[in-house]
Amino acid sequence: MIEDPTFYFWAIPAVLLLGLAKSGFLSGFGAVATPLMAMAVPVPQAAAIMLPLLCVMDLASLQQLWRDRDAALLRLLLPAGLVGIVLGTVLFGAVSAPVVSAVVGALTLMFLLQRLLAKKPALGEPPAAPSRTWGFGLGVVSGFTSFVAHAGGPPISAYVLPMRLDPVRVAATMAVFFAVINLAKWAPYAALGLFDARNLWTSLVLAPLAPVGVWLGVGLTRRIASAWFYRVAYLGMGVAGAKLLWDGLGAL
């Protein structure tokens, strides 16, 4: 396994942060986890180490949130996400992780700017339903960026958050979506040679931390006021977008 203390200095907070994001609380911050771990190892290695941990988190979040999922929304998003996984497999190596990070970061910040400038609905008026075509497209982007750098959160959040669903329903829907997406990555990652004994042993050492953030975050998501849930979610998207753009441009 990796024995360098510098790696664990970055990896431990990255795993805890990702667990909180997987629970729905601090959801936008999840895209920062892999870049944090990549401060000590290359991005493909960080992604390979993260995948088994993500699956542990998925099991914990599904156990807590499965009954609250939005089945109709998942019927739209899951096929799109799987298309993104196929694209990620085909284009892996042709599109570098820094380019993906920079593009996702820029698009995330543009989405937030659009949200700030958009006309707010009148008091008591429900938000306009986003286009299903837009949702399918963002689902594909989310699957692709999740495959390349585990950064699928911002694109899918750009579609789901404007719906202003109940926070627990948002968290549950995201949990099911990414559980399927992460499971679908295993075979392509193995075929691409991203798994080796060193990475898997490192994942095993970090595994006890994986559900901790999820359990803590689910409790907070069930208690936080809806307005604050969305404020934190949009703040997280802003931080993630800036971090992804900065890292992507810095590595080009």
Question: Which residue type occupies 101?
Answer: S
Alpha carbons 45 and 72: distance in angstroms, whole number: 35
pLDDT for the residue 28 = 67
Q: Are 139 and 159 in contact (CB under 8 A)?
A: yes
Alpha carbons 92 and 181: distance in angstroms, whole number: 16
pLDDT for the residue 123 = 47
Q: What is the mean pLDDT of each run of 10 residues along the chain (252 residues)?
A: 87 88 73 80 82 89 91 95 93 76 82 72 58 92 85 85 88 92 90 84 91 86 84 82 82 68
* b/e code 13-34 from CB counts within 10 Å (16+ = b): bbbbbbbbbbbbbbbbbbbbbb
Alpha carbons 13 and 30: distance in angstroms, whole number: 11
Alpha carbons 59 and 243: distance in angstroms, whole number: 28
pLDDT for the residue 128 = 61
pLDDT for the residue 122 = 52
- The secondary structure of 127-178, three-state, reads CCCCCHHHHHHHHHHHHHHHHHHCCCHHHHHHHHHHHCCCHHHHHHHHHHHH
pLDDT for the residue 44 = 77
Q: Are 18 and 30 in contact (CB under 8 A)?
A: yes
- What residue segments make up the domains of the chain, in order of their start? 5-251
Alpha carbons 247 and 252: distance in angstroms, whole number: 9
Provide the 3-class DSSP secondary structure of residue 70.
Answer: coil
pLDDT for the residue 18 = 85
